[in-house]
Amino acid sequence: MHRLFIAALRAGIAAAFLLGLFGQLVVIPTTASDEVERFPPHAPFAAAYVAVAVVGVLCVQVALAAVWMLLGMVERDAIFTRRAFRWVDTVIGAAAVATLLAVGVAVHLAVAEIPSPDDGMELIGALGAAVVGVGIAAAFAMLVVVMRGLLRKATRLQTEMAAVV
């Protein structure tokens, strides 16, 4: 893979990581505080939802760090080794945790008696967003599992070819 392409990917990963950090430290707590100010009955739910959102962003950051490491392995032409599986498994684990967080939020929104300031449309929108989040996170985790299988086959083939040559 071309070094310039890897550098561009790493710049994007670094920017996404820093943007996530800004979200964790500023955007998520501020948004929750503003929501509680606007509608005080949401106060009992604020801390839990802030924690879930921060951990969700952390899952993305862990996956980004693993992709960073995989890019380094690609750059060194060492991607078809056993070490690569550890980083791919890290991405799968982060996606699985994010999926479980989204499932928990969706279930809580569906069954809890959460007060709504208007006609309940905000709650329905949040539930819809959580369900979509579950679908996206689960699909991503399954995609990476399939890609892991392809990496396993490619690693096996390269090992066999090295033994023949």
Look up the pTM and report it.
0.89
The amino acid at 157: L
* Gyration radius from the chain CA atoms: 20
For 68-118, what is each residue's pLDDT tens digit? 999 999 999 888 888 999 999 999 999 999 999 999 999 999 998 888 777
Residue 138 reports pLDDT greater than 90: yes
Percent of the chain with pLDDT over 90: 71
Taking alpha carbons only, the member of 50, 66, 140 closest to residue 98 is 140
- Yes or no: say if 51 and 25 are a contact pair by the CB < 8 Å rule: no
Mean of pLDDT over the chain: 92
**Sequence-ordered list of residues with C-beta below 8 angstroms from that of 1, at least 6 positions apart, any chain:** 74, 75
Average pLDDT, integer, range 15-38: 95
Angle between helices 3-22 and 43-75 (to 10 degrees): 170
**Phi, psi dihedrals of residue 15, rounded to the nearest 5°:** -65, -45
For 55-76, what is each residue's pLDDT tens digit? 999 999 999 999 999 999 999 9
* Cα separation values, 150 from 65, 85, 110, 145, 153, Å: 21, 11, 38, 9, 5
